[in-house]
Amino acid sequence: MTPGPGGPGPHPSEALAEAVVAALAACGVRDVVYCPGSRSAPMAYALDRAVRAGVLRARVRLDERGAAFLAVGISRAGALPGSDEGGSAPAADPSRGGSMRQAAGMRPVAVVTTSGGAVAELHAGVAEAAHSGVPLIVVSADRPVEMRGVGASQTTDQPGLLTPHVRGVWDIPAGTAPDGRLTALVARAVATACGLPAGAPGPVHVNIGFRDPLVPRVAVPPAPAGDGAATRAPGASAPVRVTRVARAEPRPWRWEDAVDPDLRTVLVAGDGADPEAGHWALAAGIPLLAEPTSGATTSGAWTAHQQTLLSGPLGPGVQQVVVTGRPTLSRPVGALLARGDIRIVVQSGDLPWTDVAGQAELVVPALGAATARHRDARWTEEWARSAESVTRALLPLTEPADDAAPTLVSAARAVWNAGTGTLLLGASNTVRAVDLVASGRGRADVVSNRGLAGIDGTIATALGLAWGSGGPVRAVMGDLTFLHDASSLMLSASDTEPDAQIVVLDDQGGGIFAGLEHGDPALAGAFETFFGTAQASSIVGIARAHGARATTARTIGQLRARLARPVRGREVVHVPIPRDPELLARVRLACRAGH
């Protein structure tokens, strides 16, 4: 290396950024999402060197909110079936301490921003990560302490800005020595994000002060030919060692010590359910009521149409419920868990556990499988027969002829049946419709941001899943969800093209409200302005403006045809559907006829 003006070696901000990036990599962080800025420039140069050295993989995004959700998607990709390190992502080096991962398999991912409002823009994604248990490491650049609280530009109180949604906050002063103590601090932050050694995984915040100068003394060489992933650039950080942190594994309770085998029991599996939930239900011989994102629908015990069956004659017969994960999709499940006449057992290794109505009798951190099937075998058979009857009764609505116009439920059934790639379900009507009609072959590759169940960052999450897994992703969402995050379709010139198909079910606004009490005709005067909120925007035009392919599917046959094609690059499929508040009533009528 040839030193630049001002003396030999890196200046303090350069050395500090290099040490932080090296420590992140040593802790097993393989992906970083970076948002451009001036105060964060030392981190940019350090990341550039790490990427050239093949240590990290970096994505650059303009919008911090989208960047946070992109990081959420990359992290979630680690929990997908068969996931590795994301295709071209650098592998973990055991000599550097190995990879810290929390039990659910999600990867720790860092998102780096400059100072000021950029940090506040992250908050929606950080809150989602907090409630979904996603190990997100926020690294925010900040002014040095002497520039805080004196009216300096782009300066605010950054430490604590993301409270209460982070598991920990570390404020690193400008000029901190890049030694083993700094490495240990970063390692502690990553371990906390991963829920190690004990605790709930989630986001953390590392705030770093940087003083001028913000450019390196040593000039960054031009990019080598190709992607340069295997090239170690001059000045790249030397390998460092970090403390390895092991998980404290809870001792499973015996099934028979927690669950009464003499009671008529159902197992309810929500988002983030224990991976053993399907095995528990099979071993006990009980119905498994699993939401699409639970990962449990592939079990032979899965009993489809939980919303319908709980609203029918079988629902009142439930005497005991075992709950795992966070069931959030349907009012029938919520009503079941609020009943005071049944016994409820909750399995949860984290805080807070799911017990909205305060009815749980027992909460256990882990469960073992039953040693024998529950005594009332006819109970499970009745649920299975009823589920099959409901599936048959729904066929005219969910699987119409190819020339029929798509509806919410027929489109939901079509995307559930299209088995290529990961399926990301948007919040609001989309995930609930899939939960209502899904049956047949289950899927373990379904994802949804159910932490806060908001529409924020759905497209960004889809791209994160695609880049993080190295495989195709199909994301299905409403028109407002698409428009809310349309800017995430943008790619930097240096980005690789992700394989992501975005299916937009366009009912011209907030269709979910039409099926709630707000859709009452007596309230029609305020509905369209304050709830319907249809937008005068072209979904196809917006997609094409961002460089994505875009088409419109006006029949269910056209939609099925597009879903059958391989997912290649960014594609938006616009599916106009009617806003039909009576549709769910017709579904319920058909279901009652099927009992």
CATH class of segment(s) 255-378: alpha beta
Query: How many helical (H) and strand (E) elements, i.e. helices and strands, does the chain have?
Result: 20, 17
CA distance 297 to 306: 12
* Domain 399-594 = CATH 3.40.50.970: yes
Q: Of all residues in the chain, what percent carry a pLDDT higher than 70? A: 88
Is a pLDDT exceeding 90 seen at residue 21?
A: yes
How, if at all, do strands 31-34 and 136-142 pair?
Answer: unpaired
CA distance 80 to 95: 26
CA distance 32 to 272: 24
Is a pLDDT exceeding 50 seen at residue 230?
A: no
Listed in order, strand segments (DSSP E) in 196-280 are: 204-209, 265-269
Distance between the two ends of the chain, CA-based, in angstroms?
77
Give the model's pLDDT for residue 240: 81
Is a pLDDT exceeding 80 seen at residue 163?
A: yes
Count of beta carbons in the 10 Å neighbourhood of residue 214 = 20
Give the model's pLDDT for residue 221: 57
Secondary-structure percent of the chain, ordered helix, strand, coil, rounded to 5: 35, 15, 50
> Residue 42, preceding bond cis, omega within 30 degrees?
no
Count of beta carbons in the 10 Å neighbourhood of residue 257 = 11
Is a pLDDT exceeding 80 seen at residue 275?
A: yes
Is a pLDDT exceeding 50 seen at residue 231?
A: no
Chain-centre distance for alpha carbon 445:
12
Task: Choose which CATH entry (3.30.70.1290, 3.30.750.24, 3.40.50.970, 3.40.50.720) describes domain 12-209.
Answer: 3.40.50.970
Residues in Cβ contact with 228 at an 8 Å cutoff, skipping those fewer than 6 apart = 51, 52
Task: Read off the DSSP letter of residue 285.
Answer: T
* pLDDT tens-digit map of 427-444: 888 999 999 999 998 999
CA distance 392 to 389: 5
* pLDDT tens-digit map of 84-107: 554 444 544 433 444 555 446 899
The residues spanned by each domain of the chain are 12-209, 255-378, 399-594
Give the model's pLDDT for residue 83: 67
* pLDDT tens-digit map of 118-128: 999 999 999 99
Residues in Cβ contact with 136 at an 8 Å cutoff, skipping those fewer than 6 apart = 68, 71, 72, 75, 108, 109, 110, 111, 125, 126, 129, 193, 202, 203, 204
Give the model's pLDDT for residue 243: 87
Q: Could you tell me the CA-to-CA distances from 585 to 82, 289, 321, 590 in Å, in that order? A: 39, 22, 27, 9
CA distance 117 to 126: 15
Q: Of all residues in the chain, what percent carry a pLDDT higher than 90? A: 72
Q: What residues form DSSP beta bridges with 552?
A: 574
Nearest CA-CA partner of 304 in 406, 443, 421, 446: 443
Give the model's pLDDT for residue 234: 37
Give the model's pLDDT for residue 1: 33
Which run of H or E residues covers position 85?
Answer: none
Residues 36, 60: contact at Cβ < 8 Å? yes
The two three-digit tokens of residue 147, written as one number: 């520039």
Which run of H or E residues covers position 513?
Answer: helix 511-514
Same CATH fold, 399-594 and 255-378? yes
* From 455-469, 482-496, 513-527, the region with the lowest mean pLDDT: 513-527
Give the model's pLDDT for residue 434: 94
CA distance 282 to 293: 19
CA distance 64 to 456: 12
Count of beta carbons in the 10 Å neighbourhood of residue 339 = 14
Residues in Cβ contact with 469 at an 8 Å cutoff, skipping those fewer than 6 apart = 77, 80, 83, 86, 87, 422
**Alpha-carbon torsion, ordered 132, 133, 137, 142, to 10 deg:** 60
The two three-digit tokens of residue 60, written as one number: 């650059």
Nearest CA-CA partner of 298 in 416, 386, 128: 416
Residues 553, 406: contact at Cβ < 8 Å? yes
Is a pLDDT exceeding 80 seen at residue 194?
A: yes
Residues 354, 328: contact at Cβ < 8 Å? no
Give the model's pLDDT for residue 229: 34
Q: Could you tell me the CA-to-CA distances from 3 to 41, 175, 177, 178, 220 in Å, in that order? A: 19, 20, 20, 19, 11
Which run of H or E residues covers position 12?
Answer: helix 12-26
* From 236-245, 344-353, 467-476, the region with the lowest mean pLDDT: 236-245
Nearest CA-CA partner of 16 in 172, 193, 232, 243: 172
* pLDDT tens-digit map of 281-291: 999 999 999 99
Give the model's pLDDT for residue 5: 46
How is 491-532 classified by DSSP, letter by letter?
--TTPPPP-EEEEEEE-SS-HHHHTSGGG-GGGHHHHIIIII
Count of beta carbons in the 10 Å neighbourhood of residue 247 = 16
- 3-20 burial, b at 16+ Cβ within 10 Å, e below that, comes to eeeeeeebbbbbbbbbbb
Is a pLDDT exceeding 90 seen at residue 549?
A: yes
Task: Read off the DSSP letter of residue 494.
Answer: T
Give the model's pLDDT for residue 8: 67
How, if at all, do strands 109-113 and 31-34 pair?
Answer: parallel
CA distance 458 to 78: 18
CA distance 509 to 531: 8
The two three-digit tokens of residue 534, written as one number: 């249809």
* pLDDT tens-digit map of 497-540: 999 999 999 998 866 666 666 666 777 677 777 877 888 899 99
* From 46-60, 79-93, 297-311, 331-345, the region with the lowest mean pLDDT: 79-93
Q: pTM, whole model, 2 decimals? A: 0.90
The two three-digit tokens of residue 59, written as one number: 């994505």
